[in-house]
Structure 1
Amino acid sequence: MKTSIATVSISGNLPEKLEAIAAAGFDGIEIFEQDFITHDGTPSDVGKLIRSLGLEITLFQPFRDFEGLPDPLRAKAFDRAERKFDLMQELGTDLVLICSSCHPAALGGIDRAAADLHALGERAAKRGLRVGYEALAWGRHVNDHRDAWEIVRRADHDAIGLILDSFHTLARKTDPDTIRRIPGDKIFFVQLADAPLIDMDLLYWSRHFRNMPGEGDLDVTAFMQAVMAPGYTGPISLEIFNDQFRGGSAKAIAKDGYRSLIALMDDVRRREPSAQVDLPQIPERRTVKGVSFIEFASRGDEAAALETILATLGFRPTGTHISKALTLWTQGDIRIVINLETTGYASSAYNMHGTTACDIGLNVDDVEAAVARATHLGASPFQQPTGPGELDIPAIRGLSGSVIHFIDDASGLGDVWTLEFNQTDDQTAEAGLSKIDHVAQTMSYDEMLSWSLFYTTLFDMTKSPMVDVIDPEGLVRSQALETPDGGFRITLNGAETHRTMAGHFLADSFGASIQHIAFATGDIFESAKAFARLGFKSLPVSQNYYADLRSRFDLSDEFLTRLQAANIFYDEDGTGAFLQLYSQPFAGGIFFEIVERRGDYKGYGAANAPFRIAAQKRLLRPKGMPKI
């Protein structure tokens, strides 16, 4: 299987695009005509540059407004085609994309279009070239791949074939299974793009909101199953038009594209066993059973403050590392490691971000398979020297250079807590916290698609629709990802300005990844009582919030009084209720959340976010004041 991507999909000048595409692992490129025209090299030079990077030109595109024109426009169209054929031969590619005409003078009629394509096929064949015809979703007369196929079928020429684009099919809600009736050898090329479901003009939607397979809401997997079923064996290519990508890192976007393509075709192979998907065998998405641990890098007074907060939440120090300055704090199934080392990765993380949750350990079903899948999909491995008596726990890099360790029981890695830590006899009372409900990662908004793709291609996780979180000074986009059983949940929060709480955290921490951790309890009121006995300082909530709560929900006066007395937020939907209690922010904006889920509530209390953020901002240092 040849992997390909259109040069229009990523940012930069042509050499920068090509270098990023080659580094990501693609086999070839669709060269977008504009990228070639704006480059100052000759067609021959461009072709040599592409091949020197180990790439091939899988397609030249686009050639517009060809079929169905009256004379003299028709004759002019054939002249234009001949000049493009000259260019293709100099570049060193044999396939051109012709998209269905949008020309106002274009005449309808399948036979007329077929006749024009047959005539063009005769000219292309004399040069050893091929022509692929694609139905644009907004084409003047042809906007459906079924009509485009009928035109190609009637053109009846070996040099004329069909080009399919997932966006043009799925955006118009055309059944992709109709592709199964098209002979595989008459499909010359396949382009892929996903997109969020938005009700807007098709052309505008296509030109600004396409994204990588798996980043949107279109069923690109079903589309590719239908394409592969009749025996298609040609290139699989990405054609992405996205304003966000045009201003992003070419290398990062190309890497995401390759990851999305490999993950997609692996899914296709599993769901359509007869498909000829020539890919190395890779393990399927891994099951995450939960969070094994979260490690903080900290020092001095900040570490003491963190330990105090944990103690007031009922955590107790239950182990010290056999050779390093690490302390293990536990409660229920929750493990928090505080790392005070002055060398190694955690030390570097502290020097960069200050106190930070630098490492998350995931309990997976199979460590070896998790590492293999991550590596195949382009994740960066992480490793540092281990000391005497330490286990070598596999890990990869995560957001902002953070680390994700993989632990399972079968390999013995789950014994790390007894093998590497000396147990203590601290008998501090716990407060009813049982597990980590979810972890919230903060990033710039333009990174959200990338990290959503990262998690959903590595692990068996689904994503919820993106929601807007209203900050008093801006907007934060939030998306939740979770495993089928809810054992691992993570929320991605994208900041568009440093004025928001999320943006403030990013600026203060120089891009730290985890802003808050939510702990689950079975009874938040009993936990709150235990916290109060231990000296916990909760986030103060405005009385106005509870007055509004009274008008929104049918709650008893007694229940509202209990909520207000403990500074607990409340939300409910048709499936259940959600109660939230927050610590005060520390270390530049990190905070803890305690949650109780009642019934089958699946959300995260998004309606409460503006009130929580406002309360947190009241406690942060005044604007313009230096960080102490």
Structure 2
Amino acid sequence: MRRSTATVSLSGTLRQKLQAIAAARFDGIELFEPDFVSFDGSAAELAAMAGDLGLTIDLYQPLRDFEGMPDADHARNLKRAERKFDLMQALGAPTLLVCSNTSPRSLGDAERSAAQLHELAERAARRNLRIGYEALAWGRHVKRYREAWAIVERADHPHLGLILDSFHTLSLGDDPSAIATIPGEKIFFLQMADAPILAMDVLQWARHHRCFPGQGQFDLETFLARVLRAGYAGPLSLEIFNDVFRETPNRRTATDAMRSLLLLESQVRQRLAREAAESDDGTARAASERVALFDPPAVPRLGGYAFLEFAVDDTAAEALAALLHAMGFVRAGRHRSKAVTLYRQGAINLVINAEPDSFARRRFVEHGPSVCAIGIAAADAERAVNRAVALQSARFDGPRGARELAMPAIVSPGGNLVHFVAGVGPGVDPIGADFVAADNTTPDDGSGLCHVDHVALGLSPDQLDTWVLFSRAVLGLEPGDSLELADPFGLVRSLGVADRGRSLRIVFNTSSSRATRTALSASASGGVAVQHIAFACDDIVATVRQMRAAGVPFVPISANYYDDLAARIDLGAERLATLRELGILFDRSADGDYLHIYTASFAGRFFFEIVQRVGGYDAYGALNAPARLASEAQAAERGG
């Protein structure tokens, strides 16, 4: 299937946009008129530039406020359209988008609209051009695709067809089912856009909050399946108006754009195949055979965190090792050929990498002590990497010595590595073969930590949508609820993603406040950094008592927090006193409880969280995060 994107979806000059779009391996573009108006070259020069980059100009848009106008306005509109046709011929653009009228002068007469569009299409036909009519969700008289299709049918001209846009249909809560009854050859172009569900004016929603498929909450899978069932075989395109995207580096945006289309295609391909098999549905089978939809390796079966790797120098390595020792970790071994040490407790593997000439050292120089790599257990590690590469991730192959494990890796958004580790399971040590066991290693229950519960990333606002899409497309994770929380300097938005079995959880935290982003560590790694790592335990009271006795520093919590907790939740006097004494935070949902505590920040870069889940609690205690942020802000204010 041909893939296209609108120039309005990216930041930069028109040249920069085309270069980014071509680098992401799109086939074509929709040329947004304001982009051409500000271009410092001719239409012929732009056409040559696009051709040199391997791009076609599939659509020129938009022609506004055309149909249903009084006769005098219509005469002027035809002259305006002829100038557009001149330009399109110079550009080599075959189709003009005409969006439904929003002018107060439009008359709302469907017969008049059809006649005027017929005349426009007749003029376009003389130049071998086509007219695509699109229903705007805020059109004055035509808002829905059925209304637009009725006018196109009445106009009855072979050079006039329908343009469908998922946003205009789904933002109105319109049912896309009837699209499947429209003749596929009369659908001239298809635009896809996702969006979060927001209660706001649809025009403002459309102009500022659209996003790529997989980043929002619309059911784009059903929408695209209906269009393909109709017999559509044209370009699959993106038209995204988004304030954040206008500020984001366009190479990353273009990569996200292509990744989103590939993910959507693969989802719809599976859906059509399933529908064809389950009900002998010939329409679904024909739709899946008509166009070649993307078919990547299957979503990997993941099994949690195999290891976490820290980039340090010798000084930071010594300090981090001391902290881990106080937390109950044991030095399990030294790498066979590198200055890398393995620490363990329960099923947790932490790797401290102080190798001078390495990827980790480069990350340390750029960002200070930080997590530079994450190992994720995968049933088929090579397939997991192949899927990631197919979905626009870069593969990473680092140096490997004799007898050392091959752990395929990719570069995640922001530049850290994600390794996929095979052979993880009870009694299996997937990474220990690379380490020489420490002489003083003895069996030890440590402080009671069991496994990594979740990893939290601090993100700049422009990285959040990228990571949501990456986690869904590459890792097969699904997002939970999004929360907005107040802190001393702004608002924090928190969103968790996880696999179905909850073996792999990631939390994204972001804020538009610079001070808050610094507290989230989001500025430490190109807008992305591991903010904290949460370790699970079975008895948080015993674990925290042991850690405090060993000198682990924890973030102090205001006494007022516990007074408020007592007013909100009946925990009993003894239990509340224990939580207050140890500085443990508490949250409760309908399904269970969550107890947690934060260590002090290590080198101002990251910290650890100790958690205990009780019952079916499935969140992350986000409502307690402001208590930590406020405590740290007040400590800084006191100079502590």
Scaled to the shorter chain, the TM-score interval is: over 0.9
- Kindly indicate whether the alpha-carbon contact (under 8 Å) linking 1:481 and 1:490 is maintained by their aligned counterparts in 2: yes
> Structure 1 length normalisation: TM-score?
0.96
**Which of 521, 538, 543 is equivalent to 1:505?**
521
1:220 to 2:220 alignment: yes
Match of 2:276 in 1: none
3-state SS of paired residue (1:487)? coil
1:426 to 2:441 alignment: yes
Displacement of 1:471 = 2.0
Residue deviations 1:249-271 (CA, integer Å, cap 9, x gap): 11111111111111111111111
Partner amino acid, structure 2, of 1:569? L
**Which of 301, 321, 333 is equivalent to 1:307?**
321
Distance 1:463 1:612 in 2: 24
Displacement of 1:245 = 1.0
3-state SS of paired residue (1:464)? strand
Match of 2:598 in 1: 582
Displacement of 1:315 = 1.2
**Which of 597, 602, 608 is equivalent to 2:613?**
597
Partner amino acid, structure 2, of 1:83? R
Partner amino acid, structure 2, of 1:606? A
* Residues 408/134 of structure 1: CA separation in 2 closer, same or farther (3 Å cut): same
1:567 to 2:587 alignment: no
1:465 to 2:475 alignment: no
Displacement of 1:416 = 4.5
Distance 1:151 1:378 in 2: 41
Q: Which consecutive residues of structure 1, in runs of 5 or more, have no partner in the other structure? A: none
- Kindly indicate whether the alpha-carbon contact (under 8 Å) linking 2:463 and 2:527 is maintained by their aligned counterparts in 1: no
> Structure 2 length normalisation: TM-score?
0.94
Residue deviations 1:479-502 (CA, integer Å, cap 9, x gap): 111111111110111232332264
Distance 1:64 1:140 in 2: 12
- Kindly indicate whether the alpha-carbon contact (under 8 Å) linking 1:493 and 1:502 is maintained by their aligned counterparts in 2: no
Partner amino acid, structure 2, of 1:573? S
Out of 156-165 and 109-118, give the one that drifted further. Answer: 109-118
Displacement of 1:192 = 0.8
Distance 2:63 2:357 in 1: 58
Root-mean-square deviation (CA, aligned residues, Å) is 1.9
Distance 1:444 1:130 in 2: 43
1:155 to 2:174 alignment: no
Displacement of 1:235 = 0.3
Residue deviations 1:444-472 (CA, integer Å, cap 9, x gap): 11111111111111122111233223221
**Which of 313, 333, 345 is equivalent to 1:319?**
333
Displacement of 1:548 = 1.0
* Residues 462/608 of structure 1: CA separation in 2 closer, same or farther (3 Å cut): same
- Kindly indicate whether the alpha-carbon contact (under 8 Å) linking 1:317 and 1:426 is maintained by their aligned counterparts in 2: yes
Output aligned runs, 1:478-493, within 5 Å. Answer: 478-493=494-509
Distance 1:133 1:143 in 2: 12
* Residues 288/152 of structure 1: CA separation in 2 closer, same or farther (3 Å cut): same
Output aligned runs, 1:385-464, within 5 Å. Answer: 385-409=399-423, 416-424=430-438, 425-427=440-442, 428-464=444-480
3-state SS of paired residue (1:603)? coil
3-state SS of paired residue (1:351)? helix
Partner amino acid, structure 1, of 2:84? K
Distance 1:342 1:30 in 2: 48
- Kindly indicate whether the alpha-carbon contact (under 8 Å) linking 1:508 and 1:588 is maintained by their aligned counterparts in 2: no
Distance 1:40 1:488 in 2: 49
3-state SS of paired residue (2:481)? coil
* Residues 280/410 of structure 1: CA separation in 2 closer, same or farther (3 Å cut): farther
- Kindly indicate whether the alpha-carbon contact (under 8 Å) linking 2:97 and 2:163 is maintained by their aligned counterparts in 1: yes
Displacement of 1:308 = 1.8
* Residues 480/312 of structure 1: CA separation in 2 closer, same or farther (3 Å cut): same
Distance 2:550 2:441 in 1: 15
Partner amino acid, structure 1, of 2:21? I
Displacement of 1:397 = 0.8
- Kindly indicate whether the alpha-carbon contact (under 8 Å) linking 1:441 and 1:514 is maintained by their aligned counterparts in 2: yes
Output aligned runs, 1:25-40, within 5 Å. Answer: 25-40=25-40
Match of 1:352 in 2: 366
Output aligned runs, 1:114-263, within 5 Å. Answer: 114-263=114-263
Match of 1:548 in 2: 564
**Which of 350, 366, 379 is equivalent to 2:393?**
379
* Residues 90/622 of structure 1: CA separation in 2 closer, same or farther (3 Å cut): farther
- Kindly indicate whether the alpha-carbon contact (under 8 Å) linking 2:494 and 2:622 is maintained by their aligned counterparts in 1: no
Distance 2:294 2:209 in 1: 31
1:296 to 2:310 alignment: yes
Residue deviations 1:96-142 (CA, integer Å, cap 9, x gap): 11111112121223322222222222211121111111000111111
Partner amino acid, structure 2, of 1:111? E
Q: Which consecutive residues of structure 2, in runs of 5 or more, have no partner in the other structure? A: 274-284
Displacement of 1:286 = 2.1
Distance 1:366 1:231 in 2: 37
Distance 1:573 1:503 in 2: 27
Distance 2:401 2:635 in 1: 42
Displacement of 1:403 = 0.6
1:54 to 2:68 alignment: no
Distance 1:448 1:512 in 2: 9
Residue deviations 1:554-611 (CA, integer Å, cap 9, x gap): 1100010111121100011211111001211111141100111111111111111111
- Kindly indicate whether the alpha-carbon contact (under 8 Å) linking 1:519 and 1:592 is maintained by their aligned counterparts in 2: yes
1:366 to 2:350 alignment: no
Displacement of 1:238 = 0.4
3-state SS of paired residue (1:243)? coil
Match of 1:328 in 2: 342
Displacement of 1:390 = 1.1
- Kindly indicate whether the alpha-carbon contact (under 8 Å) linking 2:306 and 2:377 is maintained by their aligned counterparts in 1: yes
- Kindly indicate whether the alpha-carbon contact (under 8 Å) linking 1:356 and 1:512 is maintained by their aligned counterparts in 2: no
Partner amino acid, structure 1, of 2:441? D
- Kindly indicate whether the alpha-carbon contact (under 8 Å) linking 2:313 and 2:361 is maintained by their aligned counterparts in 1: no
Residue deviations 1:194-247 (CA, integer Å, cap 9, x gap): 111111111111011111111111111111111111221000110011111112
Q: What is the number of residues matched between the two proteins?
A: 622
3-state SS of paired residue (2:204)? helix
- Kindly indicate whether the alpha-carbon contact (under 8 Å) linking 2:10 and 2:254 is maintained by their aligned counterparts in 1: yes
Displacement of 1:26 = 0.5
- Kindly indicate whether the alpha-carbon contact (under 8 Å) linking 1:585 and 1:620 is maintained by their aligned counterparts in 2: no
Match of 2:490 in 1: 474
Distance 2:234 2:523 in 1: 46
* Residues 511/244 of structure 1: CA separation in 2 closer, same or farther (3 Å cut): closer
Partner amino acid, structure 2, of 1:358? C
- Kindly indicate whether the alpha-carbon contact (under 8 Å) linking 2:370 and 2:605 is maintained by their aligned counterparts in 1: no
Partner amino acid, structure 1, of 2:306? S
Out of 544-553 and 120-129, give the one that drifted further. Answer: 120-129
Partner amino acid, structure 2, of 1:338? I
- Kindly indicate whether the alpha-carbon contact (under 8 Å) linking 2:244 and 2:462 is maintained by their aligned counterparts in 1: yes
Distance 2:627 2:457 in 1: 20
3-state SS of paired residue (1:499)? helix
- Kindly indicate whether the alpha-carbon contact (under 8 Å) linking 1:59 and 1:97 is maintained by their aligned counterparts in 2: yes
1:495 to 2:507 alignment: no
Output aligned runs, 1:588-627, within 5 Å. Answer: 588-620=604-636
Distance 1:372 1:392 in 2: 15
Report the identity percentage: 45
